[in-house]
Amino acid sequence: MARERFGGWEHGLSPETINNFRQNSPELVIEDARRMLGLTAQQGETLRDILLARGINKWLKARRDLIALKCELKGAIHRICAAGVKGNAAQKAYLKALMTVQGRIRAICHQARWVEWPHLRTAAKADGRYVVRGPSA
């Protein structure tokens, strides 16, 4: 009940509590901004437009699609293994490739959620690029 009401904020925000937060919806961002920053309904709609324009909605959708693909690949691997790969080198190579791709997608999906993006105006620069800090996958 409290989780639904506060969306995870009741625990504070830290690397230890970040997994208490629901994710993957621009509506959650808008709800939080309205509640925590006192945005009006019109300002919430403006924020919705900003998220859309900046590609945030796209990447939240891409994340969902990536998770679905990970599950699809896992199912395909299980079906191939259940059918049995009998000495056929091409089938074994195909299965190995599927398992490699599925493993890499799984690693992306299981990356730590605590990733800090620097403020653009004050970002530390390394050889001309902005640095993103966070735990390595």
Confidence label for 5 from pLDDT (cuts 50, 70 and 90): low
* Lowest-confidence segment of 38-52, 67-81, 105-119 by average pLDDT: 105-119
Residues near 26 by Cβ (< 8 Å), separated by ≥ 6?
48, 51, 52, 56, 57, 60
Token digits for 64?
């969902």
Overall average pLDDT of the 58-80 stretch? 92
The answer, yes or no, to whether residue 82 has pLDDT greater than 50, is: yes
Residue 45 has a pLDDT of 96
Q: What is the pLDDT of residues 23-58, one digit of tens each?
A: 889 999 999 999 999 999 999 999 999 999 999 999
The answer, yes or no, to whether residue 137 has pLDDT greater than 50, is: no
Residue 84 has a pLDDT of 81
- Amino acid 52 reads L
More confident residue, 22 or 49: 49
8 Å CB contact between 11 and 17: yes
Percentage above 70 pLDDT, the chain: 80
For residue 116, the SS3 value is: strand
The answer, yes or no, to whether residue 104 has pLDDT greater than 50, is: yes
